[in-house]
């Protein structure tokens, strides 16, 4: 330890300490990661509390002095205190934290089982995507396997999709017909008749006019149970692009995604040139790696591994069971939002810096459908938010939860449930974008509109809050408990459900209001963007007025029905997934 204290490049992680007051100016500070504890004065605790992230002791010292406006004469005392805290275990050496992953595994991962293409009534996009898959195969001389999950309601469109496949005999494409005659769901119902209703809730045909984004994903999760696979949107392009903000190396962070927006694809493509890579192979390189191996691989990347922004909660993710469960690459084009996302208003510092260099972009931020959304470098994240707007990797050798069959927000639901049942897994974001080009543009919510609530978002928030009470270690048991929570919610009274809705709306408004004001108070935020933000301060989206809160509601019968149906499906999913994994062996 003394050698580590004198080594200038040793990095020390600041965890989320607990503090117990002992006297008027004395407290006991404990590191929950290792149970180390020390008694500090209030002034010493004030110094220690300035530490965050993962820095050398000299960097922690400089940051503490800057935040406390400490004179130079106080610097030796600050350094002495930090050395004592490091020696006592209140600060953790990064190598000791990484050692919790265990030994890197040299065993090769199993091949990617296939690339799923969920589609519904868009044979033109399917033909385009398969054409680009053929070009990728010709360029790389690698034959990937493709699986088309066809949720089309029209027989004409299903026929068009089959013709698109037969026109590409050079590709290995399997066609999965999800129409009423679908044999997969019917076979599962015959094999597990006691789960017939739950299978129908997850895989059954959609009603007329029903949005069933989650249904093809559930089919893919069960068809690939126990294997790694990728999924790509049918309106994505296999045309890897360099991000407009790019740096070498690997970041370990929970920082929000950075964004840039453009008036035209010509302007976007000029800023984001083509990269000569195989995006499928890039995902396969990381997906499913134990974190001991992923960390070691990241350290070998040109530019090294940066841990400055390692969040205080990160220590819980350094565990022998930690692995890369999702991979994701950037989006260039439509970001995948329906009508509004908090990311439109909660810009991080890198996005604000980009706006300062491109002030004219502020005027069309809420008009354009063409955005780059991602990170400037390859990124390891102990956070499992999920977006399937372009190409996404799933390590389905572990239990990955299902999506709600109906409604929007099905992919964030899978990400949030995964975080709840696998509390130590990671996501890797790859440093390239794939274009996502919709047939028609979206209409973003304006500041004057009353926002439309989505049942899935409400259920995500409810399960996230309740997940802190989960005590089971087994992922299947944790998922079933979340299912019980939803079933209980469906039985709640009207007053309870209305209170839940208002709490959800008020929480969103409060968080967004804080982020907007944070940007307005930042002198580095461009004036043009501040003018855009001021229009939102009086928006119902940011209001906690009781009358406006009550206007943002969901039909209670619909909320109950979806909570009950999806809750029962979550209870059944571990058995259903295990059954499908056994079928594939």
* 3-class DSSP string for 399-422: CCCCCCCCCCCHHHHHHHHHHHHC
Q: Locate tokens 């002198």: which residue?
A: 523
Residue with tokens 């499913």: 288
Radius of gyration of the chain (CA): 25
Q: Name the nearest CA neighbour of 410 among 217, 194, 171.
A: 217
Answer with the one of 197, 232, 267 that is the final residue of a domain. Answer: 232
Q: Does 127 share its domain with 86? A: no
Do the bridges between strand 370-374 and strand 18-23 make them parallel or antiparallel, or are there none, so unpaired?
A: unpaired
Whether 84 and 186 map to the same domain: the answer is no
The answer to whether the CB of 434 falls within 8 A of the CB of 391 is yes
The answer to whether residue 58 sits within a structural domain is: yes
The three-point CA angle 483-487-489 to 5° equals: 115
pLDDT of residue 577: 97
**What integer pLDDT is reported at residue 135 of this predicted model?**
97
Q: Is residue 46 part of a domain?
A: yes
127 in the same domain as 81: no
Q: Given 215, 232, 249, which residue is the final one in a domain?
A: 232
Domain final position from 232, 254, 271:
232
Domain identity same for 76 and 130? no
Residue 106 is classified by DSSP as -
457 in Cβ contact with 500 (< 8 Å): no
Domain co-membership, 54 together with 123: no
The b/e string for 39-52 (b: 16+ C-beta within 10 A; e otherwise) is: ebeeebbebbbbbb
Listed in sequence order, the residues at least 6 apart from 474 whose beta carbon sits closer than 8 Å to its beta carbon are none
Residue 315 three-state SS = helix
Q: Are residues 84 and 120 in the same domain?
A: no
One digit per residue, pLDDT tens: the chain, 585 residues?
566 665 678 999 999 999 999 998 999 999 988 999 999 999 999 999 999 889 999 999 999 999 999 999 999 999 999 999 999 999 999 999 999 999 988 778 888 999 999 999 899 999 999 999 999 999 999 999 999 999 998 899 999 999 999 999 999 999 999 886 567 888 899 999 999 999 999 998 877 777 788 899 999 999 999 999 999 999 999 999 999 988 999 999 888 889 999 988 999 999 999 999 999 999 999 999 999 999 999 999 999 899 988 888 888 899 999 999 999 999 999 887 766 777 778 888 889 889 889 988 888 888 877 899 999 999 999 876 777 788 999 999 999 999 998 777 788 889 999 999 999 999 999 999 999 988 776 777 788 888 777 888 889 888 888 888 888 889 999 999 999 999 999 999 999 999 999 888 888 889 999 999 999 999 988 888 999 899 888 888 888 887 777 777 888 999 999 999 999 999 999 999 999 999 876
In a domain, 204, yes or no: yes
Q: Kindly give, in sequence order, each residue whose CB lies less than 8 Å from that of residue 417, ignoring residues fewer than 6 positions away.
A: 401, 463, 479, 482, 570
CATH of the domain at 7: 3.90.930
How far lies 399's CA from each of 219, 228, 421, in Å? 14, 11, 9
Residue 234 in contact with residue 397, Cβ under 8 Å? no
Domain contains 484? no
Instruction: For residue 137, tell me if it sits in a domain.
Output: yes
Same domain as 200, residue 144: yes
**Pair (72, 156) in one structural domain:** no
Whether 122 and 211 share a structural domain? yes
With 0.75 as the threshold, say if the pTM is over it.
Answer: yes
Does any domain span residue 570? no
Residue 341 domain flag = no
Q: Which of 167, 169, 123 is nearest to 143 (CA)?
A: 169
H helix or E strand, kind and range, residue 295 = helix 291-299
| Structural domain includes residue 14 | yes
Instruction: Find the domain containing 27 and state its range.
Output: 2-93
Sheet strands (E) in 72-203: 92-93, 115-119, 145-150, 172-177
For residues 40 and 134, membership in a common domain is answered with no
Structurally, the chain folds into a number of domains equal to 2
Statement to judge: residues 15 and 86 lie in one domain: yes
pLDDT at site 397: 95
Residues 49 and 136 both lie in one domain = no
């Amino acid at each position: 330890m003394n050698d580590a204290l004198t080594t200038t490049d040793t990095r020390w992680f600041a965890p989320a300490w607990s503090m117990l007051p002992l006297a008027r100016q004395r407290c006991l500070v404990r590191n929950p990661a290792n149970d180390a504890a020390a008694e500090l004065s209030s002034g010493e605790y004030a110094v220690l509390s300035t530490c965050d992230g993962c820095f050398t002791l000299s960097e922690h010292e400089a940051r503490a002095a800057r935040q406390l406006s400490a004179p130079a004469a106080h610097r030796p005392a600050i350094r002495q205190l930090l050395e004592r805290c490091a020696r006592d275990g209140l600060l953790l050496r990064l190598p000791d934290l990484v050692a919790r992953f265990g030994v890197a595994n040299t065993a090769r991962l199993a091949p990617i089982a296939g690339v799923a293409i969920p589609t519904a009534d868009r044979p033109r996009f399917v033909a385009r995507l398969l054409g680009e898959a053929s070009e990728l195969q010709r360029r790389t001389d690698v034959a990937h396997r493709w699986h088309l999950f066809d949720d089309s309601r029209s027989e004409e469109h299903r026929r068009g999709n089959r013709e698109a496949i037969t026109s590409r005999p050079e590709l290995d494409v399997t066609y999965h017909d999800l129409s009423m005659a679908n044999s997969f769901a019917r076979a599962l119902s015959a094999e597990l008749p006691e789960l017939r209703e739950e299978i129908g809730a997850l895989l059954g045909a959609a009603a007329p006019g029903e949005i069933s984004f989650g249904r093809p994903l559930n089919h893919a999760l069960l068809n690939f149970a126990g294997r790694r696979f990728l999924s790509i949107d049918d309106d994505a392009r296999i045309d890897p692009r360099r991000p407009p903000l790019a740096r070498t190396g690997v970041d370990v962070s929970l920082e929000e995604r950075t964004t840039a927006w453009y008036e035209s694809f010509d302007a976007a493509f000029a800023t984001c040139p083509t990269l000569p890579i195989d995006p499928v192979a890039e995902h396969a390189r990381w997906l499913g790696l134990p974190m001991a191996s992923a960390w070691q691989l990241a350290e070998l990347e040109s530019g090294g591994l940066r841990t400055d922004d390692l969040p205080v909660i990160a220590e819980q993710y350094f565990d022998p069971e930690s692995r890369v469960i999702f991979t994701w690459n950037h989006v260039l084009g439509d970001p995948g939002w329906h009508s509004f996302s908090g990311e439109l208003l909660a810009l991080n510092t890198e996005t604000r810096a980009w706006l300062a260099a491109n002030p004219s972009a502020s005027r069309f931020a809420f008009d354009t459908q063409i955005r780059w959304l991602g990170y400037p470098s390859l990124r390891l994240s102990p956070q499992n938010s999920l977006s399937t707007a372009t190409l996404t990797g799933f390590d389905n050798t572990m239990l990955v939860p299902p999506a709600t069959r109906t409604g929007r927000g099905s992919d964030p639901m899978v990400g949030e449930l995964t975080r709840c049942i696998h509390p130590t897994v990671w996501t890797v974001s790859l440093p390239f974008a794939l274009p996502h080009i919709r047939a028609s543009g979206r209409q973003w919510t304006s500041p004057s509109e009353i926002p439309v609530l989505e049942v899935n978002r409400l259920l995500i928030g409810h399960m996230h809050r309740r997940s802190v009470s989960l005590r089971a270690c087994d992922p299947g048991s944790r998922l079933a408990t979340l299912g019980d929570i939803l079933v209980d919610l469906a039985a709640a009274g009207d007053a309870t459900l209305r209170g839940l809705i208002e709490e959800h709306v008020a929480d969103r408004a409060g968080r967004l209001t804080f982020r907007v004001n944070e940007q307005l108070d930042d002198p580095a935020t461009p004036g043009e963007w501040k003018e855009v933000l001021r229009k939102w301060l009086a928006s119902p989206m940011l209001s906690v007025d009781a009358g406006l809160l009550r206007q943002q509601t969901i039909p209670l019968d619909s909320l109950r029905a979806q909570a009950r149906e999806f809750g029962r499906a979550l209870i059944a999913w571990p058995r259903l997934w295990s059954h499908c994994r056994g079928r594939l062996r």
